[in-house]
Structure 1
Amino acid sequence: MKGLTVALDHIGDREAAALIRDGKLDDLLIDSDAPRPGTLYRGIAERPVKGQGGMFLRTPDGTAFLRQVKGLTPGQALLVQVTGFAEPGKAIPVTQRLLFKSRYAIVTAGKPGINVSRQIKDDDLRDAALEAAHEALENAPLPDEAGLILRSSCANASPDEIAEDVEAMARLAAHVLSDEGAGPEVLVEGDGPHALAWREWVEEAEVDSDDGSFERQGVDEMIADLRRARVALPGGYSMIIEPTSALVAVDINTGGDTSPAAGLKANLAAMRDLPRQLRLRGLGGQIIVDPAPCPKKDRKQLEGLLRAGLKRESTESILAGWTTLGLMEIQRKRDRQPLKELLK
């Protein structure tokens, strides 16, 4: 089945959204009980962490950890935003670089200026988006020292849609940044899966939002496949993806192919699908890939293919290189919870 489909449903009592591209699951969002990324707190500084340049904060959802702090004193109130999910037993990761993000606009606290996404190449579209933004800002000015980014999705939006979004984000930012409260408090709740789907999946798609959409679109079966460690690849190859407490291990296998090029072909197939698999399974941290046997001269080709795939990801991912034992090392930000934890 060609084209894009967005399915909005629930798994148990959890809100969930799925993006299906040409009949294959391309992205999956499932709500959790943990604080959502994007949540804005008024936190209270508690104590610095010596040697790490950070500080623990008190929030309504528990202890948070803020890096690169200067000039903060215990008891001080400050605005912070959740950047990702905490590992079990660890503090919530937060930042003071606040972003107010919607489908067409991002208000950036502390970074003044109005910018348009470089992905919008057409000058007329850029000018139309800027004009709509300036009109909106006449009704709702940006807070002092705040800026605005017009996202690439503005290319397919009407001036009214852009203006409405810009005005809403500017008003929200002004309200939050003028906060003068004292105790810990949730000021803005992060977006759930349905809101995130509207915000981030901006390509034209068929939307199935009625109850039972996951069953109708085959998402339930696709999720069942993600519960398995083994991933079938084209050509009869496979890879095994197994999270451990320390890292994520990926083992690539050639299956029954005994030809001289089997190792390279299996590795190429795995490199093409690995970013999608990590995204769907919600895996991050340190990832170690054990490729199928192939000559060292093929490593550059594998690196190029994997780097290109990781570059398209919204999650920050770094290909660190190769170990002396011939394993690939990847570092990936933990901005999602592992799928296995959500489906327990």
Structure 2
Amino acid sequence: MKGRQIILDHLGTREAAALMVDGQLHDLLVEADAPRPGTIYRARATKPQKGQGGIFLETPDGNAFLKQVKGIAPGDMLTVQLTGYAEESKALPVTLKLLFKSRYAIVTPDAPGLNISRSIRDDARRDELMMIAKDEMQGLEMGLILRSSCEEASDEDIAEDLRAMVDLAQTVLGEAGTAPEVLTEGDSPHVLAWRDWVEPADIVTEAGSFASHGVLEAVDALQNAYVKLAGGASLYIEPTRALTAVDVNTGADGSFAAGTRANFACAKELPRQLRLRGLGGQITIDLAPMPKKDRRGFEASLRAALKADGIDTVLAGFTPLGHYELQRKRARLPLAELLNEANA
């Protein structure tokens, strides 16, 4: 089916949202047992870990780790925000830089200034948005980013959304207490879909829509290590305890350029596969043989695909053995783990 569809349903007992583009699963969000990224805590500092450049905090959801020690003493109460999912047996990653993010606006209490997304290039529209920002933020010591979704939105919707984020920020920052507490939870999959999937799309909310629109079939395919690529090439994506191994194969193509074609196809498809499978941490790609002169083009293609993906990923580069390494933020939990929880 052509076009974009946002499908809001459940996987087992878990709330989930799927984004289909031209009949292909483009993104998938599934509720987890773990605390949601974006959750804001009042936390108590416990013990500094100077060797690691941070300090442990006590939260209602367990220990958290803040990469900052200067000016913080054990017993201090801090307001922090969860930035992602914790690795197994490790503390929750948190930051002092709070973001109150919605569909049209991001309120930044610790970063003053009024900013508009660079992707909005129409000068007249930028001027209109700046007037909205100045009117709504007047007298407030907070920063603001108006997102790219503001370009086609109505001024009234933007102002209403902005006011809601300012009210939430003021409420959270005004909370006083002497014990660790959850001040506001991160967004659920359905809210995240509304917040971040802003391009025009058909919205499907009927129960059982995952089955009728091909989402369940796509999810089943993601449980297989094998991924078919264009031209008969393929990937095998296999998570281990230490890293995720990606093996690129040329298939039956025995031509001189087969390896290069397979590797470029991998660069285009891999970010989508990692996003859908919820894989982060260290990624090692065992590339098909290709001339060294093609390495720069492969890296540029991979960088462009990862930029569009939106999840922070560091391109570490080629190893002496010719493998390519990435370090990817753990922005999501592994899909296999979520499916096990949903079916339990």
Bin the TM-score by the shorter chain: over 0.9
Asked if the contact 1:226/1:281 (under 8 Å) is kept, the reply is yes
Cα deviation for residue 243 of structure 1 reads: 0.5
Within 1, Cα distance between the matches of 2:212 and 2:132? 39
Within 2, Cα distance between the matches of 1:157 and 1:69? 42
Alignment partner of 2:234 out of 221, 228, 238:
238
Partner of 2:68: 68
Aligned structure 1 segments of 4 or more residues deviating by more than 4 angstroms = none
Within 1, Cα distance between the matches of 2:52 and 2:42? 22
Gaps of at least 5 residues in structure 1 are none
Kindly report which structure 2 residues correspond to 1:82-231, keeping only aligned pairs within 5 A, or say none.
Answer: 82-137=82-137, 142=140, 144=141, 146-231=142-227
Asked if the contact 2:114/2:133 (under 8 Å) is kept, the reply is no
Within 1, Cα distance between the matches of 2:310 and 2:68? 24
Within 2, Cα distance between the matches of 1:53 and 1:266? 41
Within 2, Cα distance between the matches of 1:133 and 1:66? 32
Query: Given the two structures, how large is their TM-score scaled by the length of structure 2?
Result: 0.97
Asked if the contact 1:250/1:287 (under 8 Å) is kept, the reply is yes
Cα deviation for residue 3 of structure 1 reads: 0.9
Partner of 1:79: 79
Which deviates more, 161-170 or 120-129?
120-129
Cα deviation for residue 133 of structure 1 reads: 2.9
Which one-letter code corresponds to 1:82 in the other structure? L
Asked if the contact 1:132/1:160 (under 8 Å) is kept, the reply is no
Which one-letter code corresponds to 1:246 in the other structure? A
Does the alignment pair 1:47 with 2:47? yes
Cα deviation for residue 134 of structure 1 reads: 3.2
Which one-letter code corresponds to 1:273 in the other structure? E
Within 2, Cα distance between the matches of 1:209 and 1:88? 34
Within 1, Cα distance between the matches of 2:125 and 2:212? 37
Asked if the contact 1:19/1:26 (under 8 Å) is kept, the reply is yes
Which one-letter code corresponds to 1:207 in the other structure? I
Within 2, Cα distance between the matches of 1:136 and 1:115? 13
Which one-letter code corresponds to 2:199 in the other structure? E
Within 2, Cα distance between the matches of 1:275 and 1:70? 37
Asked if the contact 1:135/1:163 (under 8 Å) is kept, the reply is no
Cα deviation for residue 338 of structure 1 reads: 0.6
For the residue of structure 1 that corresponds to 2:301, the secondary structure is helix
Asked if the contact 1:252/1:267 (under 8 Å) is kept, the reply is yes
For the residue of structure 2 that corresponds to 1:69, the secondary structure is coil
Give CA deviations for 1:35-60 in whole Å, capped at 9, x if unaligned. Answer: 10000000000100131111110101
User: How many residue pairs align between the two structures?
Assistant: 340
Identity %: 59
Within 1, Cα distance between the matches of 2:232 and 2:175? 58
Partner of 1:301: 297
Within 2, Cα distance between the matches of 1:304 and 1:207? 34
Partner of 1:333: 329
Asked if the contact 2:50/2:69 (under 8 Å) is kept, the reply is no
Structural RMSD (CA): 1.0
Give CA deviations for 1:233-252 in whole Å, capped at 9, x if unaligned. Answer: 11111000001110010000
Alignment partner of 2:280 out of 278, 284, 287:
284
Give CA deviations for 1:97-123 in whole Å, capped at 9, x if unaligned. Answer: 000000000001211111111111011
Give CA deviations for 1:137-173 in whole Å, capped at 9, x if unaligned. Answer: 46xx53x3x2011011000100000000110011111
Within 2, Cα distance between the matches of 1:135 and 1:76? 36
